[in-house]
A and B are shown apart, each in its own frame.
Chain A
Amino acid sequence: MTSVTLVRRIKARPQVVFDAVTTAEGIAHWWGPDAGPVLLAESDPRVGGRYRVRFRKLDSTEHESSGEFLEIMRPERIVMSWRWKGGQEDPGESRIEIMLRAVPEGTELTFTHSLLRDEETRRSHEGGWAGALDKLEAHFARGASA
């Protein structure tokens, strides 16, 4: 609930996925919510290095996000900060963690984007969220439509 987690199975080895995730060439091929083009991709994938990506959405608005690589462990783990340029829609910094695990068909990628700092994220996972909050969400969803 305090973070977005997505899992994908990819038919490629972890080191291939890792390079696709971290290199400017790779980023230029996939970054962005729709099929609009990446206009600029810069990446210095080492701890303390930065990345910057500018893309155009299909609605022709342009957006730029950037951040710093906080942890890099090739080919299994990447942690980076994230911030929008301008920051109208979502000011402040959030955190992205990507885990790559070798599986028989290739790689299982677990992607987490969270607003919280490490400690809080850990606590939220330990607390065993699920049931109570699902109910709350349902409650609020009902409230929203009422």
Chain B
Amino acid sequence: MVNYKGRLDRTFGALVDPTRRAILAQLERKDGASISELAAPFAIKLPAVMKHLNVLDDAGLVTRSKSGRTVTVRLRPQPMREAMEWLRRYEHFWSGSLDRLATYAESKETEARRRGR
């Protein structure tokens, strides 16, 4: 349970940063990229990119594998699926609630107007 919440926190925490999202988007276009390929579009130094990759790795959003001197980075979908599941569940929950809230508030409004307030 605690792990689930911890994982979600890490996933959302990793996803709030625009550079990290850009890295994920790059991997979406070409899965299995080297670190220098990933760093190329950014105006930041390699160590900074490494730091972002560490965060993404901790969140389980990417995996890194080493072959010789090349590190290959790949997307890992599971945490993203959990995050989307969280969002979908609440979307369903609140969508029903807000429909009823609207109906109720509108009936209260009609009632108030009838009483001339």
Contacts and interface: CB of A to CB of B under 8 A. Distances in A.
A59 interface: no
Contact of B77 (A115, A123, A140): A140
Contacts, number: 140
Contacts of A131: 25
Interface residues of A, number: 53
A31 B9 CA distance: 26
Residue with the highest number of chain A CB atoms closer than 10 Å, among B8, B12, B25, B90: B90
Contacts of A140: 77, 80-81, 84
A88 interface: yes
Given A88-B1, A90-B86, A135-B25, A111 B98 contact: yes
Interface of B: 1-2, 4-5, 8-9, 12-13, 15-18, 21-22, 24-25, 28, 75, 77, 80-81, 83-84, 86-87, 89-106, 108-109, 112
